Amino acid sequence: MQRWKNIIFNLTVALNCMLLFLFLFESHLSIPPWLQVAGRMHPLVLHFPIVLLVGYAVMVLLVPARQTGAGDFQRVAGWLLLLTAFLSVVTAIMGLFLSREPGYDPDTLQWHQWGGILISIYTLLWYVFHHRINTRKPFTAFTAIIAFFIIVITGHLGAGITHGDNFLWAPVTPEKKQRVVSPEDAIVFADMVYPILETKCMTCHNSKKAKGELVMETRELLLKGGKNGKLWDSTEADLGLLLRRIHTPLEQKKHMPPKGKTQLTAEEMEVISAWIRRGADFDLKIASLPADDSLRLLAVKMLREAEIAEYDFEEPDAALVESLNTENRVVSLEALGSPALTVSFFNSRLFQSSQLTELEKVKKQIVTLDLAKMPLREEDIEVISHFENLRRLNLSFTGIRGTNLPALGRLKFLRTISLSGTGVTTPALEALKEIQGLITVYAWQVAASPDEIKAFSSRIPGIRFETGYNGDTTILKLNPPVFLNEEKFFTKVFPLQLKHYIQGTSIRYTTDGSEPDSLLSKTFGKKDSIHEEVLVRARAFKPGWISSDPVEMYFYKTTYTPDTVIYRQPADSSFPDENSQSLIDRIEGGTNYKSGSWVAFRKNRMECVLHFAEPVPASSVTLSSMVDIGKYIMPAEKIEIWGGEDPQQLRMLSRVKPEQPGQYMPFYLKAFTCHFKTTKLSYLKIIVLPVQRLPNWHKGKGEKGWFFIDEVLVN
Amino acid sequence: MEKEIFENSLNMNRRKFLTRMGMGIGGVALGSLLIPDLFSGNPEDILQTGLPHFAPKAKRIIYLFQNGAPSQLELFDYKPMLQQMHGQELPASIRMGQRLTGMTANQQNFPLAGSVFQFNQYGKAGAWISELLPYTSKIADDICIIKTIFTEAINHDPALTFFQTGAQVGNRPSMGSWLSYGLGSENKNLPAFCVLLSKGKGNGQGVYSKLWSNGFLDSIHQGVQFSSGENPVLYLNNPEGMDKKERRDMLDKLAELNEGVYREFGDPEIKTRIQQYEMAYRMQTAVPDVTDLSKEPEDIIKLYGPDCLTPGTYAANCLLARKLSENGVRFVQLYHQGWDSHGNLPKEIQGQCLDVDQASAALITDLKQRGLLDETLVIWGGEFGRTNYCQGKLTTENYGRDHHPRCFSIWMAGGGVKPGVYGETDEFGYNIQKDPVHVHDLHATVLHLMGLNHEQLTYKHLGRRYRLTDVSGNVIDGLMA
């Protein structure tokens, strides 16, 4: 046992010597990979000496003296201390190996190394003298306390290296209050560049350390540069020293920040170079850059507003806010936990100026105010100017002329104002210059013309004016007029109803099938009416617009209405005519084949008899039908009209084979008329054969087609 | 002996019991110090306030839903490779066994179809936009085109339901209902969630009222459909012979009766019903004002296009959407049908684009010139995309495309959205190459822009807390300014 003790003791002494040696020639060390593995075990092994030392301290300090006299006790305690010393030096050497790997903050590392070496030697000496120290308890206690402090400090530094600075205290350290700026208010240098320099450069380039004689803390010192000269030169291709150092490869000595320190991110590099490229102007504002400027886009990304924008005013009284809500005024917190209020007004008829004055009670908290379309008076602007924290103001379509706009100069946080649709003139807009932080003005359809605003805005570079859409030079094609006549079947004269929804259009129409034009065709008037079967074609005309395409509608006259309909073959069960009225009810089927007014045939042919109680002298029969090729709804293949006064002796009056379409076409309505010599009719039999084989170009080729019918008209 | 020792150890006297219990409870108490919310009531209380969780970027949403799924390959996702390989077979390495709909699953081959339309680059981000969208290309700098949105469903109804409610099966609240629930209505005289429908001439797919259902939320959050025609909200006007005073008296009496029933049964739907009557009463004055398009100036008509005054058109709905939105309607949902171009795509899509291009772009310009685009989020897109291979017969000018859920394009504008192009698809336009955006991610991002944490906007139903994003979804930072 004693032999082992000697071996370990000797080994410990040897290792301590080696440690000192390695430390002395640290910069020349080259660690083979397998030793790196040993080095990386440093964070594991370091726990053992600590625990052993604690064990030893507990034994010698807390165990009552009468029990410590025994030889076994002394032996065990001695072993503990020896192992502590041994493992301390092993840990320290491993740590030294690990420290050769890149990426550690050199300052902290140095102190940690010193601490490690100190512990190693200290524990060794303790072991050597432990018999003497143990003669008196205060000696032991004193030695232990010193060891405790060295270990705590070294351990804390080590934790700082692996977990980051201030790892231990971060949860209880109040966060440094960062100035929250919105991209619109941000100054490039102060809000973007300086914070980068502060965190990434100033740990060394500060007035205390001033490495390379460079201090970055103030503008003047930045401009002065260090011993290697000025920091930037926007005329050089690489923009000067600062960026050259940043872009130098990491391995080279000149690279900044040095190896081991936290490096700049790609974005941060871009911010600095973009700022220098634009002339390194300390006062450059984000808002003055074009909306697509790369620096501006970066700014928006980096300065993304905190989720709850920071406001330095107190939260309003909840009951007060509640009481301010009325039928047409909505006052609400911007978000949970935010002190800011958003106020909107609706329903202009209920608006009174007093509703605005009532808001004075929360004048500090209002950040958004929407008064669009409210009948404001110029004096009301004065009231608004009391809302000192206002950010967004919507005054569009309020009818103000802007004589009182200068009052808004007090609103130093106002960023956006909408004046669209108001009578604001150019002189009134002039007052907006006084609003320091103003960024966007919406001025569409105001008294000042877009050109005036354009000329004017070029004089105020900080403010963006949105003048919106102006249709003066746009020439568009009118849409066609619409027929309001719902019924296309008529028995007696009825008014033609045409409408165009755009005011000031004139509708012209023809009844002879020709294209309506703006000169010769009849202008539609309210008194126009239809008295005969006719095709009406109509177009809309308006100055400043291209005339519309024509629309057309066929009006069918129906002189005689049969009294009953008898089907000889039932209609298809999906589209039946349940009470045998559908064909004579004068209700149009419309464009929807499922409307219920359509009767359809596919398997069966249509064969029905129409009966007139009183015989009628008829000369034509019209079948109102639809065609929707994609849905297999085709024109009839064959139509036969039979008629007479005796149901047993009907004569064929007409037989038609309607033309079939030759290709796919969109849906259309189609009427088939069969003319014949005027005949006295009591009975009329109609036979329609649906298409028996769909043509080859159709997706359902060879299948049967559908025949759809909504009305039968007899004249 | 062993048995006795064992039994003894099982015995417990009062002192032992109290000591152990004391230690146990002490331990639990100590532990509870670290869980502050443990005994502090239910977290749903937060929502009672109707306030955003954090400062919102957008206050309102207008969702221009292109129902039927517009082809991304004809509009935003420019793929010259498809033109070069027109008619060649889709490589299996690209398709990777993707399931197909019943409409093309049995197709013998899958010939690639290049778009017949020309593309050009627009805006500062150089976004590719097709010649079909001349107006949209002019607002390229205001919109963010997401080329890599993807969904899980391959057929219209589940896909549409998924986009609207965050689940493919029905019965969940619609996005607008969730926002109504989370943020409430801005204007007390109008519903928080309005729905407008229009129809193009292209092949259409159905739109059902379940899409704007409140699901398990209180029915006050249901979408209110505005119809075209003289009465945008049906049965809102007083019948002839009834004046405002009489209506008021009637409602007061009715509310009294309903209150009585509520006291007896305690059904919360009774309260909702009373609220809805009151809302309808207030809407009687607000709705005619808002829906009256006749006073819009000529500039606006030219901006939205001549159709914008014809009730029931997409353009009129866009104009109406702006009016509703500027009057404080939280969520305006438009649907435009007719994008389901399985065949005859080049022709059908031209008609659809003619319907929507000018008015969609106009809405952005109009909101912008009023200073409202900053606080309004506009979303444009369908329920999925269309395949890069042809459905049916392929010719040089004509082809059709089937449903494609793996990648498609939508755009967003306004309210905190970062303009530009987001995401990349492969050169076949079949798979996502970079920055995928799942439907849940889109929902999470949209809620975030509205100041809501999608994980906190929950409602407890059938013993479980439901969210619009179900159990997933990430806020996509790259989409936000």
- Determine, for residues B303 and A327 on separate chains, whether the beta-carbon distance falls below 8 Å: no
Q: What is the pLDDT of residues B367-390, one digit of tens each?
A: 999 999 999 999 999 999 999 999
Low-confidence stretches of chain A (pLDDT < 70) are: 65-70, 174-184, 301, 303-309
d(CA B299, CA B460) in angstroms, rounded, equals: 48
Beta carbons within 10 angstroms of residue A655's beta carbon: 13
What residues contact residue B198 under an 8 Å CB cut-off, 6+ apart? B228, B312, B313, B314, B316, B317, B334, B335, B336, B337, B355
Contacts of B298 in chain A (CB under 8 A): 471
More confident residue, A304 or B123: B123
Q: How confident is the model at residue B272 (pLDDT cuts 50, 70, 90)?
A: confident
Q: State which amino acid sits at residue A359.
A: L
Contact list in A for residue B186 (CB cut-off 8 A) is 330, 344, 346
CA distances from A330 to A344, A385, A663, B480 (A): 5, 19, 60, 28
Q: For chain A, what is the radius of gyration of the CA atoms? A: 48
Tell me if chain A has a CB within 8 Å of the CB of B354: no
Which of B46, B281, B302 has the most A C-beta neighbours within 10 Å, making it the best mutation to test the interface with A? B302
Has domain A482-556 been given CATH number 2.60.40? Answer: yes
DSSP state of A250: T
CA closest to B369 among chain A residues: A468
For residue B263, the distance in angstroms to the closest alpha carbon of chain A comes to 27
Indicate yes or no: CB of B188 within 8 angstroms of CB of A477: no
Most B CBs within 10 Å, among A442, A472, A473, A628, to test the B interface: A442
Cβ contacts from A onto B, under 8 A: 126
Lowest-confidence pick of B45-49, B189-193, B236-240: B45-49
Residue B186 has a CB neighbour count (10 Å cut-off) of 20
Distance CA B262, CA B271 (A): 7
Q: Does B13 touch chain A (CB under 8 A)?
A: no
Q: What is the ipTM of this complex?
A: 0.85
A308 shares contact with chain B (CB less than 8 Å) = yes
B331-337 vs B193-199, strand pairing mode: parallel
Residues of A in contact with B46 (CB under 8 A): 336
pLDDT value, residue A305: 47
Write out chain A residues lying below 8 Å of B311, CB-based.
501
CATH architecture of the domain formed by A559-714: Sandwich (2.60)
User: Which pTM does this prediction carry?
Assistant: 0.74
Residues 212 to 231 of B: which have CB under 8 A from any A CB? none
Mean pLDDT score across all residues of chain B: 89
Contacts of B374 in chain A (CB under 8 A): 416
Query: Is the pLDDT assigned to residue B43 strictly greater than 50?
Result: no
Architecture of domain A318-466: Alpha-Beta Horseshoe (3.80)
Question: pLDDT digit string (tens) for B58-90?
Answer: 999 999 999 999 999 999 999 999 999 999 999
B306 — contact with chain A (CB < 8 Å)? yes
Cβ of B51 within 8 Å of Cβ of A502? The answer is no
A305 and B55 within 8 Å at the Cβ level: the answer is yes
Say what the pLDDT of residue B93 is: 87
Residue-range domain boundaries for chain B: 2-32, 52-232+292-479
Would you list the domain boundaries of chain A? 2-163, 188-302, 318-466, 482-556, 559-714
- Restricting to B residues 57-96, those with a Cβ less than 8 Å away from any Cβ of A are none
- Is A346 close to B189, i.e. CB distance below 8 A? yes
Which CATH architecture does the domain made up of B52-232+292-479 adopt? 3-Layer(aba) Sandwich (3.40)
| Per-position b or e across B445-458, b if 16+ CB within 10 A of its CB | bbbbbbbbbbebbb
pLDDT number for residue B257: 94
- Smallest CA–CA separation between B298 and chain A, in Å? 8
Residues in chain B with CB shorter than 8 Å from the CB of A467 are 369
* Amino acid A68: pLDDT: 61
A553 in Cβ contact with A495 (< 8 Å): no
Contact list, A472 vs chain B (CB under 8 Å): 299
B321 near B183, Cβ under 8 Å? no
**Predicted local distance difference test score (pLDDT) of residue B46:** 43
Taking CA–CA distances from A505, the nearest residue in chain B reads: B306
High-pLDDT (> 90) share of chain B, %: 62
Backbone phi, then psi, for A530, in 5-degree steps?
A: -110, 125
pLDDT at B95 over 90: no
As a dihedral over the C-alpha atoms of residue A188, residue A194, residue A200, residue A204, rounded to 10 degrees, the angle is: 150
Cβ neighbors of B2 (< 8 A, separation 6 or more) are: none
Give the pLDDT score at B45: 44
The tokens 């049995």 sit on which residue?
B106
> Nearest CB to A396: which of B53, B328, B370?
B370
Residue B276 has pLDDT above 60, yes or no: yes
Q: Which residues of B touch A420 (CB under 8 A)?
A: 369-371
Q: Is A449 on the interface with B (CB under 8 A)?
A: no
Is the minimum CB–CB distance between B298 and chain A shorter than 8 Å?
yes
CA of B351: which chain A residue's CA is closest?
A666
Who's near A79: CB < 8 A, 6+ residues apart?
A5
For residue B338, list chain A residues with Cβ-Cβ distance below 8 A.
Answer: none
CB A420, CB A394: distance < 8 Å: no
Cβ contacts of B323 on chain A, cutoff 8 Å: none
Of all residues in chain A, the one with the smallest CA distance to B290 is: A347
The DSSP code for A258 is P
Contacts of B481 in chain A (CB under 8 A): 300
pLDDT value at residue A69: 62
Burial class of residue B46, CB neighbours in 10 A (0-12, 13-18, 19+): middle
Are A707 and A553 contacting, i.e. CB atoms less than 8 angstroms apart? no
Cβ under 8 Å to B: A residues 479-508? 479, 482, 501-503
Instruction: Tell me the CA distances in angstroms from B39 to A211, A597, B26, B36, one per residue in order.
Output: 56, 65, 16, 7
- CB–CB of B303 and A471 under 8 A? yes
Q: Name chain B contacts of A501, Cβ cutoff 8 Å.
A: 309-311
Between A304-308, B116-120, B402-406, the lowest mean confidence (pLDDT) is in A304-308
What distance in Å separates residue B369's CA from the closest CA in chain A? 5
